[in-house]
């Protein structure tokens, strides 16, 4: 895959958003989503500003892009993010069907400034019984009723 000057320009915009976020009291992360050579949405990390642990730059940007395009499917889009996505953001990127990811800093770089994304990657590799936060099955048979209802629903929107 070839990296172009346009890719570099989009990454610089993500970095600019990250720098502005730090100056305004947010976290040091920024992202933009591009479709057909145009920035559709951009945002930065606002976890502490919004008191929302999910308000990472990538998630904020995905929300804005979906709203602007009127869809939950961002196929054909590229995300440029100032840092390698954490597991939550990577999951959101996959759920949004974003086609390509470019990142600046690595998760190791983030760890060096006390953002422990690696911890979550490590937790995901462990069996459920060995994770630091207990994760226990409960009322599966009752919960399966919802999945049965979904399976039988004829007018559902698949995603």
**Catalytic residue positions?**
58
φ/ψ of 62, rounded to 5, equals -60, -45
Q: Is the dihedral of CA 121, 7, 78, 30 positive or negative?
A: positive
Report the 10 Å Cβ neighbour count for 61. Answer: 31
Q: State whether residue 158 is helix, strand or coil.
A: coil
φ/ψ of 82, rounded to 5, equals -65, -15
Helix, strand and coil percent figures for the chain, each rounded to 5? 50, 15, 35
């Amino acid at each position: 895959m070839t990296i172009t000057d346009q890719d570099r320009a989009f990454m610089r915009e993500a970095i600019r958003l990250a720098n502005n976020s730090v100056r305004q009291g947010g976290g040091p992360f920024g992202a933009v989503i591009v479709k057909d050579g145009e920035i559709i949405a951009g945002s930065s990390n606002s976890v502490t500003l919004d008191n929302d642990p999910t308000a990472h730059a990538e998630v904020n940007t995905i929300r804005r892009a979906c709203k602007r395009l009127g869809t939950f499917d961002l196929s054909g889009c590229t995300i440029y993010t100032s840092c390698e996505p954490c597991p939550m953001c990577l999951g959101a990127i996959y759920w949004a069907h974003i086609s390509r990811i470019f990142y600046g800093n690595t998760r190791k770089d983030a760890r060096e400034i006390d953002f422990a994304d690696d911890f979550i990657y490590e937790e995901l590799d462990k069996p459920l019984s060995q994770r630091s936060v207990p994760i226990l099955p409960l009322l599966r048979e009752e919960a399966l009723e919802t999945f049965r209802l979904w399976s039988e629903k004829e007018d559902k929107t698949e995603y």
